[in-house]
Structure 1
Amino acid sequence: MWGVHQRLAELRNIEKNHRALTEEEKTELNICLDANLNLCRKVAYLKNQSLLATMTKDKDWQFEICSQLEEIYTVFH
């Protein structure tokens, strides 16, 4: 996923500092934005699930959710 964010930054830099994006670059930008959106939704979903697990004192479920979140966060560090 980090590659998506790098490319997103590159495209934004091109658009902001150099020139208008080509149609192909605009398509690529939209793909990157959709990938980012999907990741943000997944993290938000897991955090909500984590809250529910905490509220219901379901430690196994909480551990499973935390493991999934850690997998996502590990990619970015």
Structure 2
Amino acid sequence: MWIVHQRMAELWVLNRRRPLTNEEMTEMSHCLEANVQRAWEIAKLKNLSLLASMTGDVEWQHELCAKLDRLTG
């Protein structure tokens, strides 16, 4: 599990028991922003990999898959 997801889960559990402090709300916002950026990057790489596959660019597709592996590893 990515550390950002772990922290979001911790904050979510805390929020079920009590309102989050301003610092915790800011931290949750930062976690959500990081999650969005990562999700978009993964989606972009998957789409580019599909494009590489459709155009027969095997070398580019391997590069993209390696980046995906590093990002999701």
Q: Pick the TM interval, shorter chain.
A: over 0.9
Structure 1 residue ranges (4+ consecutive) displaced by more than 4 angstroms after TM superposition = none
User: How many pairs were matched up?
Assistant: 73
**Structure 1: unaligned runs, 5 residues or longer:** none
1:24-67 superposed Cα distances (whole Å, 9 cap, x missing partner): 00000000000000000000000010010001000000000000
Q: Identity of aligned pairs, percent?
A: 49
* Coordinate RMSD, CA, aligned: 1.1
- 2:8 corresponding residue in structure 1: 8
For residue 21 of structure 1, report the CA deviation from its aligned partner.
Answer: 0.3
Q: TM-score, normalised by structure 1?
A: 0.91
Higher relative contact order (CA 8 A, sep 6+): 1
**Structure 2: unaligned runs, 5 residues or longer:** none
Q: TM-score, normalised by structure 2?
A: 0.96
